[in-house]
Structure 1
Amino acid sequence: MGKIIGLVQSKGGVGKTTTAVNLAAELVRRGHTVALLDADPAGHAAAIAEDGRLAFSVTSHLLEDGNGAAAWAKTVRGNTAEFVVIDAPGSMGAAYGATLAVADLVCVPSGSTVLDIRGAAETVRVIRQHRRETKAVGPDILVVPSRIDKRTSAGRDAVATLAALTEPVAPPITYRAAVADSLATGEAVPTDSPSAVEFAALTDAILTRLGVMA
């Protein structure tokens, strides 16, 4: 079974789908097989893939209620890709909880606003509660500063602010219009762009947390 990475945040608009798509793209560039599962009813990742320009598969994998959680999880664990990336829904429903149950690592994207950081803190709290209730070691947590505007004081302080959650913090992903533009055309960021360098650094951090050679 491959490594399962969940993108989870209780607040929307923090770059969850953007991170999932570009993480998957960077893993493929490194020669890994990757499956991106869109578990969010909004279906943003699946919509981005409709143009067929991504180098990996994106499959809608919804879980409407907890009754189907076991079958949902079995499908995730049975995927033959080296890495399975799950774009989880923002609401704390069945798929949100199921993602925490199957993931080896949960990435928690967060912007620098008060509401973004509150959402990240709530997500971290839920993951820790899940570990206590299930007496499980995992999932591991990596907080991802996302959509960071370094021109603002909050953006410049984002890494330090998120470190107060007392979980590992990844290198930040800067807010750039080029990132949104690439997704609008159904693609990951260009490989020669500053954003690609940042997503590569994020991928290095994720592989380190997973104990996988970069």
Structure 2
Amino acid sequence: MPKLIGLASTKGGVGKTTIAVNLAAVMARRGLRVSIIDADPAGHASAVAEMGALPFPVATLLLEEVEAKAVAAWSKAVRGATADYVVLDAPGALGPAFGAVLAIADIVLVPVGASMLDIRGAAETVGIVRRHRKANGRGRPDILVVPSRVDRRTGSGRDVVGTLAGLTEPVAPPISARAIVADSLSAGEPVPAESPSALEFGALADAVKTRLENI
């Protein structure tokens, strides 16, 4: 059964799909079998995949019904993926798919920018994940907060890791705001393997792997 990595945020514009695509790319380059399941009706990950340049598959698997039978079928399809890791791109709005991702994920990555509104959104998402974890009684999903689109030229960008420590959850190495990240995604590709951004996504992959090994 694959390890399930959820990407979730109730705040838009924090780079959720960008992180999903580039995290999966790092894993694929390391020889791991990885896939993305796009559970977001916005379909951003699927749109990137349609350009045909990703080194891993992306499947659209929406869940718009709250009935137990539909949720069970969705969960079975996710767990049945032929992969070592499945990255789940959750919808930004609360709903059946958002809850289902939190219910089955081994770890949830919460992307967050450096602004006050981004941090408020991350706090809300972390609170929701904690409530799901308490309700399911299995001690999962683990939570990893991911500083995203960080501009180190600003005071908030330089201080973001320390600020996010206030959420009392582990904080991943930050992902910097660079033009190459947006440009690569627009071209349907992950960032180039030897770029500084690829090194940052590699550090994120290392952090995710370490946490999954300790679950």
The alpha carbon displacement at 1:75 in A equals 0.5
1:82 paired residue among 81, 84, 104: 84
Amino acid in the other structure paired with 1:202: L
**SS across alignment from 1:142:** strand
8 Å contact 2:103–2:136 — kept in the other structure? no
Does the alignment pair 1:12 with 2:12?
Answer: yes
The alpha carbon displacement at 1:196 in A equals 0.4
Partner of 1:155: 157
Report the Cα distance in structure 2 between the residues aligned to 1:58 and 1:80, rounded to whole angstroms.
12
Partner of 1:101: 103
Structure 1 length normalisation: TM-score? Answer: 0.97
Amino acid in the other structure paired with 2:137: K
Structure 2 length normalisation: TM-score? Answer: 0.97
The alpha carbon displacement at 1:189 in A equals 0.1
8 Å contact 2:145–2:170 — kept in the other structure? yes
Report the Cα distance in structure 1 between the residues aligned to 2:120 and 2:29, rounded to whole angstroms.
34
Partner of 1:30: 30
The alpha carbon displacement at 1:122 in A equals 0.6
The alpha carbon displacement at 1:193 in A equals 0.7
Partner of 2:167: 165
The alpha carbon displacement at 1:51 in A equals 1.4
4+ runs of 1 displaced by more than 6 Å?
A: none
Partner of 2:61: 61
Partner of 2:21: 21
The alpha carbon displacement at 1:128 in A equals 0.8
1:146 paired residue among 127, 144, 148: 148
1:82-127 deviations in Å (ceiling 9; x for gaps): 0000010111111100000110000000000111111110111011
The alpha carbon displacement at 1:135 in A equals 1.5
1:132-182 deviations in Å (ceiling 9; x for gaps): 222221000000000001111011111011111000000000001110000
Partner of 1:117: 119
| RMSD of aligned Cα (Å) | 0.9
**SS across alignment from 1:56:** coil
Does the alignment pair 1:209 with 2:211?
Answer: yes
The alpha carbon displacement at 1:194 in A equals 0.6
Report the Cα distance in structure 2 between the residues aligned to 1:84 and 1:40, rounded to whole angstroms.
15
**SS across alignment from 2:167:** coil
Report the Cα distance in structure 1 between the residues aligned to 2:134 and 2:53, rounded to whole angstroms.
41
The alpha carbon displacement at 1:78 in A equals 1.1
The alpha carbon displacement at 1:2 in A equals 1.1
Amino acid in the other structure paired with 1:82: D
Report the Cα distance in structure 2 between the residues aligned to 1:47 and 1:92, rounded to whole angstroms.
22
Of all paired residues, the percent bearing the same amino acid is 63
Matches within 5 A, 1:171-186: 171-186=173-188
8 Å contact 2:14–2:113 — kept in the other structure? yes
